[in-house]
Amino acid sequence: MSNKICTISPSTNKVIFEHPGTSPDEARQLAIAAQDAFKSYKQIPLPERKAIIVKALNLIDADKETLAQELTTQMGRPISYSTKEIDTMRKRAEYLLDIVDDSLKNLPGQPENGFRRFLKKEPVGVAFISTAWNYPYLITINTLVPALLAGNAVLLRPSPQTPLVGERLQSIFTQAGLPPNVFQLIHCGSPDTLDQIVALPQISLVSFTGSTAGGLRLREATARRVVPVNLELGGNDATYVRSDADISYVAAQVVDGAVFNSGQSCCSIERVYVHADVHDVFVTAVQKELESYKLGTPVDPTTNVGPVISPQAVRTINAHITDALSKGAIDATPANPTFTSPPAEGNYVAPRLLVNVSHEMQTMREETFGPVIPVMKVGSDDEAIALMNDSDYGLTASVWTKDIAAGETLIERIEAGTVYINRCDYPSPDLAWVGWKNSGLGCTLGPHAFDAFYKLKSFHIKEAQV
């Protein structure tokens, strides 16, 4: 498979970036340079590393309109939302800056007369970070900032779909004062080449965000090395609407949670379970909500549903819809002129509301990663929870109810890394972003955001004898 990067804009299907790809030998040289840079960078005091990060964030802010336009061109998000990703990225980075001193401080051992013991947190070395295209600034900052603050060197492999994000971040962090070779880029379009790169002995940590299949492949590629592999993978996230929920509010939130970013979020709502008592009124409310959505070109500021990432994504989403309809699902999507007249060029998939769905359908078992809202009627809380847990994935899940106590009892039973009541599709920086089951390994954000980027060293010192 070719290692060449050829980025095609999802809104025009025109090439916007090309790169020959970093060869395994070139990657080896980059890794050696990173290892050398790490030796001096780890000695830089934490306050100086923090100052570099702050300066980089300020430079990003100063250029965020240009960065947002590039983001829209690369991955198709409507321009009205692209600057918000960069704003949210800054908030995450500021949280990480707020907790870094406590996160990296030494840990004392138990007192004992004549001895001194403590644990020191040392950077791991060269961190290889591979990020995804759907929220490239947010996903990258989750790992890049902790890695650099902890004193590591970084080899960043941006997604081939959003390579300019990597290019811009490297330039900005260098301009902010990061020493040479501490932050370098690897462009890689071939899984075979990626397998060889992560096996390089200079790499001390692999952090990957992407598909579950891609994460499993990286684990296999590193299996003969003792190297930590942190994975943020896919989801098939579920939501349950109880009979006492505020239906008009919930319908708006569920549609947004399923359709935002054209459904291309690892934590998008992909399965909707609704109590039979409110099923019909909920479906009607969702239909009304969808009538106000606009599918269109992402450069139009009034668009709120843009293209999906590729022709292959179009085929996968449509295959899931076709499979559901062939097995008894009913298309309940309301009339919306923008859904039936998308732009002539680009990878457009209109939001679809499906009812009468079941777990025999692909869209209820697999990650559709598109603007599809499958709704399944349930008769009780117990049935809903059993169906929500009947999945190989476990990233997020949500329950909608006016009875918060009952809701808390239910979310305790859900097998997912993040659970919500009356909210969805929101990674909070102060909580761990963690996948259960096939949705991940390790975590980012929250009080343990730095854990992957340091190793512990125990100091056991017998004090001098008089």
* Residues 156-185, mean pLDDT to the nearest whole number: 98
* Residues 114-135, mean pLDDT to the nearest whole number: 97
pLDDT beyond 80 at 465: no
- Closest Cα partner for 398 from 277, 272, 278, 247? 272
CATH number (domain holding residue 266)? 3.40.309.10
- pLDDT in the model for residue 354: 98
Q: Do 301 and 215 share a domain, yes or no?
A: no
- pLDDT in the model for residue 434: 97
Q: Do 168 and 24 share a domain, yes or no?
A: yes
State how beta strands 330-331 and 352-355 pair: antiparallel
Q: Do 187 and 272 share a domain, yes or no?
A: no
pLDDT beyond 70 at 181: yes
Is the residue at 426 inside a domain? no
- pLDDT in the model for residue 304: 95
- Alpha-carbon distance of 347 to 74, in angstroms, equals 13
Establish how many alpha carbons lie within 13 A of residue 1's alpha carbon, considering only the half-sphere containing its beta carbon: 10
Is the residue at 430 inside a domain? no
What confidence tier does 128 reach under pLDDT thresholds 50, 70, 90? very high
State both tokens at 28: 């080896």
What confidence tier does 14 reach under pLDDT thresholds 50, 70, 90? very high
Is the residue at 433 inside a domain? no
* Residues 130-150, mean pLDDT to the nearest whole number: 98
Helices (H) then strands (E): counts for the chain: 15, 22
- Number of structural domains (the chain) is 2
Q: Do 302 and 249 share a domain, yes or no?
A: yes
Tell me the pTM. 0.97
Q: Do 274 and 219 share a domain, yes or no?
A: no
- pLDDT in the model for residue 466: 58
CATH number (domain holding residue 213)? 3.40.605.10
* Residues 56-63, mean pLDDT to the nearest whole number: 98
- In what helix (H) or strand (E) does residue 271 lie, and over which residues does it extend? strand 269-275
Query: What percent of the chain is predicted at pLDDT more than 70?
Result: 100
* Residues 301-311, mean pLDDT to the nearest whole number: 97
Query: What percent of the chain is predicted at pLDDT more than 90?
Result: 99
Assess contact for 52 and 178: CB atoms under 8 A. yes
Strand-by-strand arrangement of the 183-185 sheet: 183-185, 153-157, 126-130, 203-209, 229-232, 440-441
Is 429 strand, coil or helix? coil
- pLDDT in the model for residue 464: 80
Q: Do 328 and 448 share a domain, yes or no?
A: no
What confidence tier does 421 reach under pLDDT thresholds 50, 70, 90? very high
State both tokens at 333: 């999507």
- Range(s) of the domain holding residue 120: 4-233+439-462
Phi, psi angle pair for 85, to nearest 5°: -65, -40
pLDDT per residue as tens digits for the range 220-235: 999 999 999 999 999 9
pLDDT beyond 90 at 1: no
Does residue 232 have an active-site annotation?
yes
Q: Do 226 and 241 share a domain, yes or no?
A: no
* Catalytic-labelled residue, pool 70, 85, 232, 270: 232
- Alpha-carbon distance of 258 to 235, in angstroms, equals 12
Is the residue at 428 inside a domain? no
What confidence tier does 284 reach under pLDDT thresholds 50, 70, 90? very high
Q: Do 391 and 300 share a domain, yes or no?
A: yes
Is the residue at 434 inside a domain? no
Assess contact for 424 and 257: CB atoms under 8 A. yes
- pLDDT in the model for residue 43: 98
Q: Do 204 and 106 share a domain, yes or no?
A: yes
State both tokens at 69: 């336009």
Q: Do 127 and 267 share a domain, yes or no?
A: no
- pLDDT in the model for residue 32: 98
Assess contact for 112 and 463: CB atoms under 8 A. no
Q: Do 198 and 285 share a domain, yes or no?
A: no
The pLDDT mean for the chain works out to: 97
